C-alpha cells in the first residue's frame, strides 16, 4: 500500500468528526470516498494532506509516518490535492501556471521569475503536462479566459506539476455540465494509470466510473467499503446514503 490511514480520530470540542477511520490505497489505485454532508469527508482530506492535525491515529505514506509533517512537506514527498474551488493564477497563461507549479518542487525561488521562463527543462516538462491534461491548444491562453471545465483540468495539471504519487481530488466535477464532467472522468481515468487517486465526489456516476474501491463515511465512521457492485447491492448503503432511487 502506498498510503495507509490508520485509526484516525478527530474532534472539535465535544463534537466527534472522525471515529476510528481506516483506509488503504494501493499504487495506481483509485479510491472513492462517499457520504452525506457532514460525514467528515473534507476533514479527512485535510488530515491526509496535512492541513489539519488529527487527535490520534497515523497517516503512513510509503512506510513513513507523516503525523508530524506539514502539508508543504507532504506535498514535496508526493501528496498533492485539488480543491473544490479553483485556485489558479488568473492573469497567467496555462503554460506559465504549470511552470510556476513545477518550480515548487525544483527549489527555485519566485525571485528567479525571468530565469524560470528561460529554463528549457522546466518549459519542456510543463508542455508535457499541458499535453497530458488535454490543454495543448490552450497553452498560451490566460486561465481567467478558460471555461470552468478547462480551469478544473488546469488545476489537475498544477497538482501533477508538483510531481505527486498520490492525488487527492475533492469534488472534481462540482458545478460542471454533463459534457465537462465526462471530460474530467476521461482525464482522471488516464491519470489513474500513473497515480494513486483518492476522490471525494457526490455524483455517484463519477464514482462508479472511476473508483476501484469505495468507502462510505457516515457520521465520522466508515460503515462500508467495497467495489461498485458491492456498493450498489448493499442494503446498508442504500438505506444510509444512496436511497432506493440510486440503485
Angle of the 148-161 helix axis to the 178-191 helix axis, nearest 10: 20
Q: What grid cell was written down for 63? A: 512506510
Give the C-alpha separation, 155 to 86, whole Å.
7
Angle of the 120-132 helix axis to the 148-161 helix axis, nearest 10: 130
Give the C-alpha separation, 132 to 214, whole Å.
26
For residue 217, what is the domain's CATH number? 3.40.50.300
pLDDT at 240: 83
Q: How many domains does the chain have?
A: 1
Contacts of 200 (CB under 8 A, 6+ apart): 32, 33, 34, 41, 42, 45, 169, 170, 171
Contacts of 217 (CB under 8 A, 6+ apart): 21, 33, 34, 35, 39, 40, 41, 44, 223
Domain enclosing residue 167, as ranges: 3-246
Q: What is the mean pLDDT of each run of 10 residues along the chain (247 residues)?
A: 95 95 95 93 91 94 92 87 66 88 66 64 90 91 89 89 90 88 91 92 93 95 95 90 57
Q: What is the pTM of this model?
A: 0.86
Rounded alpha-carbon distances, angstroms, from residue 3 to 130, 183, 220: 27, 27, 20
Amino acid at each position: 500500500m502506498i498510503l495507509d490511514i490508520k485509526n484516525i480520530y478527530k474532534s472539535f470540542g465535544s463534537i466527534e468528526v472522525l471515529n476510528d477511520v481506516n483506509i488503504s490505497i494501493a499504487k495506481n489505485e483509485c479510491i472513492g470516498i462517499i457520504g452525506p454532508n457532514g460525514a467528515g469527508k473534507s476533514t479527512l482530506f485535510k488530515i491526509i494532506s496535512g492541513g489539519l492535525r488529527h487527535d490520534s491515529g497515523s497517516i503512513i505514506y510509503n512506510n513513513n509516518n507523516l503525523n508530524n509533517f506539514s502539508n508543504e512537506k507532504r506535498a514535496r514527498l508526493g501528496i498533492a490535492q485539488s480543491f473544490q474551488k479553483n485556485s489558479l493564477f488568473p492573469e497567467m497563461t496555462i503554460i506559465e501556471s504549470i511552470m510556476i507549479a513545477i518550480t515548487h518542487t525544483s527549489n527555485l525561488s519566485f525571485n528567479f521569475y525571468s530565469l524560470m521562463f528561460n529554463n528549457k527543462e522546466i518549459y519542456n516538462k510543463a508542455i508535457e503536462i499541458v499535453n497530458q491534461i488535454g490543454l495543448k491548444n490552450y497553452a498560451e491562453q490566460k486561465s481567467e479566459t478558460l471555461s470552468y471545465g478547462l480551469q478544473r483540468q488546469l488545476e489537475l495539471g498544477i497538482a501533477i506539476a508538483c510531481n505527486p504519487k498520490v492525488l487527492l481530488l475533492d469534488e472534481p466535477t462540482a458545478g460542471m455540465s454533463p459534457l465537462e464532467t465526462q471530460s474530467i472522468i476521461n482525464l482522471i481515468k488516464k491519470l489513474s494509470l500513473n497515480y494513486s487517486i483518492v476522490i471525494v465526489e457526490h455524483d455517484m456516476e463519477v464514482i462508479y466510473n472511476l473508483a476501484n474501491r469505495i468507502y462510505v463515511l457516515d457520521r465520522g465512521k466508515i460503515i462500508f467499503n467495497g467495489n461498485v457492485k458491492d456498493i450498489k447491492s448493499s442494503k446498508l448503503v442504500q438505506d444510509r446514503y444512496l436511497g432506493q432511487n440510486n440503485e
